[in-house]
Amino acid sequence: MVARSLVKWPSSSLLEVSDAVVDFDASLLEICQDLVDTMTSNYGAGLAAVQIGCKKSLFVLREDYVPSLPTDPHFESVVVVVNPKIEVLSDEVFAWEEACLSVDDISAKVNRSQKIKVEFKNSSGETIISVLENSESASFQHESDHLLGKLFIHRLSGTTRSIVQRKLRKKAIKNRAQQRAKKSIGQRNSKKKRK
């Protein structure tokens, strides 16, 4: 088990809905371990399977972000969330600053449901039901969104959305220019080798 490469925006795979986990076996534990290792090596608070290229309804969260939830029986200091369901319990909103390991150098204030009831399974297939509020609720919703093909940038509105979209466009243009430059250098180097 090792840290995997992160899938980055604007990869279309981040916009796909994840498939439900059916088998709670050794292969699930391997994916969970890869998620934990990748999250830890990238100093993340949580990480969804889709962010490492695995289209399973699964994510991990550091226990200090959701202290109301029990840590997983197989992974120390981590909550493993499989096939989550969320029920909103309040119309009140909790606004806080969010970022994402799949969206480099962007953060923004996001409105989340302040109080939710969650139901999910841990890596052993045991059902967990709990009520989360404020930052715990927001953290859980952020990771759950990944399983629905959404990122925090899709939850923005108004001026904030416009500013973030502008930043993302600039980054995309810069990345394309860098890729073209690398390709051009590679082609020049291959021509020199042939001579």
> Active-site positions?
143
Closest CA relative to residue 25, chosen from 82, 77, 63, 69: 82
Residues 6+ apart with CB under 8 A from 43: none
Is the separation of the CB atoms in 61 and 139 below 8 Å? yes
Q: With b meaning 16 or more CB within 10 Å and e meaning fewer, what string describes 155-189?
A: bbeeeeeeebeeebeebeeeeeeeeeeeeeeeeee
Is the separation of the CB atoms in 7 and 50 below 8 Å? yes
